[in-house]
Amino acid sequence: MGSNCETESMVSNPQERRRVGLIYDERMCKHSTPDDEYHPENLNRIKVIWDKLHSSGIAQRCVVLDAKEAEDKHIALVHRKNHIDLIKNISSKKFDSKRNKIASKFNSIYFNGGSSEAAYLAAGSVIEVAEKVAKGELDSGFAIVRPPGHHAEESEPMGFCLYNNVAIATSFLLNERPELGIKKILIVDWDVHHGNGTQKMFWKDPRVLFFSVHRHEFGSFYPGGDDGSYTMIGEGPGMGYNINVPWENGRCGDADYLAVWDHVLIPVAKEFDPDMIIISAGFDAAIGDPLGGCCVSPYGYSIMLNKLMGFAGGKIVMALEGGYNLDSLANSVLACVQALQQHKPVAGSSEAYPFESTWHVIQSVRKQLSSYWPTLGDKIPEKVISWKTPQIEISSSDSDGEHENGLIVAEELDKAVEDIIEPLKNLQVHEDCQGQATVVSPSWSSELSKIDIWYATFGSNINKSRFDCYIEGGQMEGMQKPCVGSVDKSQPKEIMWKTFPHRLFFARDRSDTWGPGGVAFLHPESNIQEKTYMHLYKITLEQFNDVLLQENASSRDMIRPLFDLTSLQTIETEKCISVELVQRGWYHNVVYLGKENNIPILTMTCTLSDIDDFKSGKFPVNSPAKAYANTLVEGLVQGKQLSKAEAIAYIEEASTKPL
Ligand code: Q9C
Ligand code: ZN
C-alpha cells in the first residue's frame, strides 16, 4: 500500500512555492485596429492568458498587482520627446481624422482611441513588476501586457510596438532606483522576431547584456536587415554585451532553443552574473504560431525559463511581447508561470535533435564572442554536434512567415516522404514542427481531438507515471532523457486494465530512453495460449498521434497526422496498419485489439516481418534492463493486477521463453 505516493515522488519533487507577481488590466484590451478589423495582435491574446491562469487555478496562487501608467520621465529614459508626444496624444479626439494616416507612416503599426492608455499601462506595468522584484517583495513576476514593446525604437513605434516596455523598466531600475542594488541586467528576448529596439537602446551599455534569439534568414525575416545578425555585438564599453542568435530557417523547436541555452546563453549568464533577468517573453516561436513558423512547446519554454532561474537569485521579470496562436500562447504562459512558482530541477533536452544549421549558428556566435566571453572559446565536442536533424529545404513564398503555403522543394526529400506527399497534394502544405516538411489537413488536430480511442499499453507505459511523461512531458527515474509530451496535455478520460491473448516479449539490445537492455514488444498476432496484461488509457486520437510520434521518432522529419480518421476506419478490418512515416521506429505498427464501450482499442508494436527478424536472429532478442523491468513490475503491482512476486515471474517468463 501507499504505492501511489512512491510513484509520484519519482517524478515530482515539490518545493516551497515562490511569490510570483502578475499584472493584467482590461484597459489594455482597448488598443485595437481603427475599425476593429482582424489583426493578430488583438485583445484576445491577453484575455486568453488571463482566463487560462484562472481556470487552471494558477493565478489564485500568485500576487495580483494593479497595473499603473508609466510616467513620462521614465519613458524618456529610452524614448525621445517627439515619440512620447505622439503616443501620449494619438488617441485624443483631435487626432481622429489623421490617426490612420499617421499610423500608415510607420512599419506595422495601428492606433485607435485606446492605444495611448494601453501603451502607458503596458510600460508602467513592467516597471511595477520589476520594481517589486528588485525590492524583494516578489521573487519574480509576469506582466501580461499589450501592446508589445521590443521593436519600438527611440523615436518610432514599429512592429505592433508603441513603447519599449522592457527597455523602459530596465533603464528605470538602473538609473532611477540605484538604491535597490540592481547594477547588471540580462535581457533575454525569446520572441521569434529580433528585438531591434531594445538592442539599440543598450548598444553601448555594459550594464545591460542583451540576448536575442530570432528567425533571421540572413536578413529576410521581420524586422529584417543586418541588425539581428550575430556580428552585432555592441559598441564601445558595450562591446560583447549584445548577443544575437539568428536562425537560418524556421521550424526551430525545443531542441534548437535548448542547444542555444546550453552552449551560448547559460555559459555567458554564469560569467555576467546578472542582478536581475528581464525576459522579452514573446511566444510567437511556439507551436502553431501563424507568424513564427517555429515549434517551441510549453514544456520547452518552461525548461528555458527554469535554466534561467538559477541566476540573479531567481529575480526574473517576464513581459509579454508577441505570440499569436491563442492556445499556444495561453499554454506557454501557463507553463512559465508554473515554472516561476515552483523551481523544480529538470533534466536536459527533448527527444528531438537540433538542426545542423543550429549547430552552425551556435558555433558562429561562440566564435564571434569568444574574446569577450572566454568560455565560448572552447570547442563543442564533436559527439554533441553529431546529434542533429537533417535539413530539408522548403521554399516559402514569404519569408516573413505570415502566409506561407509554399511549395515543398525537396533536395534530400527521402522516398518515404515523397510517397506520402503525392496522395496528399490537395491538402495544405506548410512548415511545421515535428516535421521538417509537414503536410496536414487544415484542421487535423481539431478533428482528431474529437475522437476517443483506447491506447492499450504493455510496456513501461503500463506504469501511469511513465505514460504521463508522454502526455505532460517530463522524465521519470531510470529514463535517460525527458519526453516532450503531447500538444494536448489533458489526462486520459478513463483508465482500465484488460488482458489480451497476445505474446509479450523483449527485444533489441538498448533503447535511447532506457539505455542498455531489451524493451517490450507485443506479437501482433493473437494466440489463445498467451496472456498479456495491458493498461488502457482513453485518450483522443490527436494525443495518440503525439504518443505514436514520441514512441517512434528520434528525429522530427515527419508528417502528421501519422494515424488519421481513415486509418482508424481501415484498421477495424485490416487489424493492423504499419505507419510508414515512422517506419524506422520500433513501434510503428498500430494494432487493433477490438472495442470497449464501442471505442476502438489500439496498441503499437513491431511488424510481423520484424517478428521473423527477431526469430532468425537478424535483430537481437534480449532481457529488459533493471530500471525498465522495475517500471513494469511497479506498474502491474500498483495497478493491482499482480502481486510483486507474480509480476516478477510474469516479466521473467516473457523475457526467457523463446519466441
Ligand atoms: N510584411 C511582435 O511580435 N510583420 N511583432 C510585418 C510585413 C510584423 C511582430 C509583415 C511582425 C511584427 C511583437
Ligand atoms: Zn514577435
DSSP assignments along 323-359, one per residue: ---HHHHHHHHHHHHHHHHS-----S--SS--BHHHH
Average pLDDT, the chain: 87
Q: Which residues of 563-573 are buried (b: 16+ CB within 10 A; e: fewer)?
A: bbeebbeebee
pLDDT at 22 over 90: yes
* CA 40 / ligand 2 centre spacing (Å): 11
* Closest ligand relative to 220 C-alpha: 1
pLDDT at 458 over 90: yes
Q: Which residues of 384-413 are buried (b: 16+ CB within 10 A; e: fewer)?
A: ebeebbebbebebeebbbeebebebeeeeb
Q: What is the share, in percent, of the chain residues with pLDDT greater than 70? A: 87
Mean pLDDT of 607-617: 92
The closest residue, in CA terms, to atom 11 on ligand 1 is 159
pLDDT class of 408 with cuts at 50, 70, 90: very low
- Catalytic (active-site) positions: 151
Q: What is the share, in percent, of the chain residues with pLDDT greater than 90? A: 69
pLDDT at 404 over 60: no
Q: Which residues line ligand 1 (CB under 6 A)?
A: 108, 148, 151, 159-161, 191, 193, 222, 282, 284, 321-322, 400, 402
Taking the C-alpha atoms of residue 441 and residue 634, their distance in angstroms, rounded to an integer, is: 40
* Contacts with 394 (C-beta within 8 Å, 6 or more apart), sequence order: 249, 250, 251, 406, 408, 409, 431, 436, 437
pLDDT class of 418 with cuts at 50, 70, 90: very low
What is the pLDDT, as a whole number, of residue 351? 55
* CA 108 / ligand 1 centre spacing (Å): 6
pLDDT at 434 over 80: no
What is the pLDDT, as a whole number, of residue 551? 85
- Say which residue the cell 528567425 belongs to: 215
Which of 108, 164, 329 most suits a substitution to test ligand 1, by most atoms within 8 Å of the C-beta? 108
Q: How far apart are the first and last CA of the chain?
A: 35
The answer, as to whether pTM is greater than 0.75, is no
Mean pLDDT of 277-303: 94
What is the pLDDT, as a whole number, of residue 239? 98
The burial class, CB within 10 Å (0-12 / 13-18 / 19+), for 377 is exposed
| Angle subtended by helix axes 626-638 and 464-472, to nearest 10 | 100
pLDDT class of 465 with cuts at 50, 70, 90: confident
pLDDT at 648 over 90: yes
> Residue 151 corresponds to which cell in the numbers above?
521593436
Q: How far is CA 88 from the centre of its chain?
A: 37
CB atoms < 10 A from the CB of 86, how many? 20
pLDDT at 640 over 80: yes
What is the pLDDT, as a whole number, of residue 412? 30
* CA 191 / ligand 2 centre spacing (Å): 5
* CA 205 / ligand 1 centre spacing (Å): 27
* Closest ligand relative to 397 C-alpha: 1
What is the pLDDT, as a whole number, of residue 196? 98
Collapse the DSSP code of 456 into the 3-class scheme (helix H, G, I; strand E, B; otherwise coil) and give the result.
strand
Q: How far is CA 343 from the centre of its chain?
A: 18
What is the pLDDT, as a whole number, of residue 15? 53
pLDDT tens-place string over residues 199-232: 999 999 999 999 999 999 999 999 999 999 999 9
pLDDT: which is higher, 395 or 554: 554
pLDDT at 253 over 60: yes
pLDDT: which is higher, 514 or 651: 651
- Say which residue the cell 496498419 belongs to: 577
Taking the C-alpha atoms of residue 624 and residue 655, their distance in angstroms, rounded to an integer, is: 7
Taking the C-alpha atoms of residue 43 and residue 47, their distance in angstroms, rounded to an integer, is: 6
Element spanning 468, H or E: helix 464-472
* Closest ligand relative to 159 C-alpha: 1
For residue 150, give the ligand 1 atom closest to its CA.
13
> Residue 153 corresponds to which cell in the numbers above?
525604437
For residue 323, give the ligand 1 atom closest to its CA.
3
For residue 148, give the ligand 1 atom closest to its CA.
13
What is the pLDDT, as a whole number, of residue 627? 87
